[in-house]
Amino acid sequence: MTGPAAARPARSRTAPALSIEGLTVGYGGIPAVRDLHAQVGPGEILALLGPNGAGKTTTLLASVGALPILSGTITALGEPVDRRVERNARRGVTLVPDSRGVFHRLPVEDNLRLARRKNSPALDDVLDYFPKLRPLRGRRCGTLSGGEQQMLALAKALLCAPKVLLIDELSLGLSPLAVEELLPRLREIADDQHMAVVLVEQHIGLALSIADSAVVLHHGRAALTGSAAELRERRDRVEAAYFGNLGNAAEGPAEN
Ligand SMILES: Nc1ncnc2c1ncn2[C@@H]1O[C@H](COP(=O)(O)OP(=O)(O)OP(=O)(O)O)[C@@H](O)[C@H]1O
Ligand SMILES: [Mg+2]
């Protein structure tokens, strides 16, 4: 586990599917994220945590090429991520935005059909992860519950055959029970599909329970980085980092 001024996060054992090195990115030339380092390997989940305005969405947007980088590099699947968002998506770098990206006026079936591509996995295989969606295929998306809409958003993302999946606040507006159902499903998918996942999540405990590693952002900087197992043991440090109270005095390995 590392604090604000400590060494780089531990590297994945496998070659990273997504590697963020010294990323500084923002809006109108003003950084919202500064000197961020993070990596996630195939089949791994990185939880990106932090309070409102910490820079989580900005990091995801930069990772799909949607924002101009001020400095640093992002490499996905062995190639630098450039500003060609469509091309990055075709290479397997897929964003599930916090708006869920579903068409509310269309039935579930049409939403799924619109997401299909030449290299999509079979729809049946995708729906195996979300059996609750099967009987809802004829329903207009706007009439689905929040949890069902999130399942649809994930199913649509899986139809893009992602190798790096970036998910912004999957649980936004969901009940704790719905989140408890959804996040373990994500773990299963990452394992089955060897998919690298970056998960932005406000439910810290649940996120750490399914993640392999985590970064806590505060004011655009990595305030704390470590394995999910370490951070689960040191929730005090996670919360201090979250609120910007993790000073240099708090650095050093976990004492457990
Ligand atoms: N389009 C924009 N133009 C200017 N500043 C922006 C823009 N989008 C975000 N910001 C600023 O960048 C900083 C980081 O925002 P970001 O959306 O990445 O935070 P976040 O961690 O995703 O927060 P939240 O939990 O509220 O979604 C904030 O100070 C925000 O005001
Ligand atoms: Mg956000």
- Give 35-63 pLDDT, tens digit per residue: 999 999 999 999 999 999 999 999 999 99
pLDDT digits (tens, 9 = 90+) for 175-214: 888 888 899 999 999 999 999 999 999 999 999 999 999 9
Q: Whose CA is nearest to atom 6 of ligand 1?
A: 27
In a domain, 144, yes or no: no
Domains in the chain, number = 1
Atom of ligand 1 nearest to the CA of 56: 21
Confidence of residue 3 (pLDDT cuts 50, 70, 90): low
Confidence of residue 2 (pLDDT cuts 50, 70, 90): low
**Angle value at C-alpha 183, between 177 and 184, nearest 5 degrees:** 100
Closest listed ligand to the CA of 27:
1
Helical (H) or strand (E) element with 160: none
CA of 256 to the centre of ligand 2 (A): 33
pLDDT digits (tens, 9 = 90+) for 145-162: 998 999 999 999 999 999
Those residues whose beta carbon sits under 5 angstroms from the ion ligand 2 are: 56-57
Q: State how far the alpha carbon of 33 is from the alpha carbons of 20, 113, 114, in Å.
A: 12, 36, 34
Place of tokens 């405990």: 205
Q: Whose CA is nearest to atom 4 of ligand 1?
A: 27
Pocket of ligand 1, candidates 58, 70, 169: which has the most ligand atoms within 8 Å of its Cβ, to mutate? 58
In a domain, 129, yes or no: no
pLDDT value for 98: 83
- Beta bridge partner(s), residue 18: 40, 76
CA of 108 to the centre of ligand 2 (A): 26
pLDDT value for 175: 85
CATH code for position 63: 3.40.50.300
In a domain, 11, yes or no: no
pTM of the model: 0.91
DSSP code for 213: E
In a domain, 150, yes or no: no
In a domain, 24, yes or no: yes
In a domain, 50, yes or no: yes
Residue 191: domain span: 18-100+161-247
pLDDT value for 33: 98
Q: Is 11 a residue whose pLDDT tops 70?
A: no
In a domain, 192, yes or no: yes
CA of 61 to the centre of ligand 1 (A): 11
In a domain, 123, yes or no: no
Q: Tokens standing for 46?
A: 């990185």
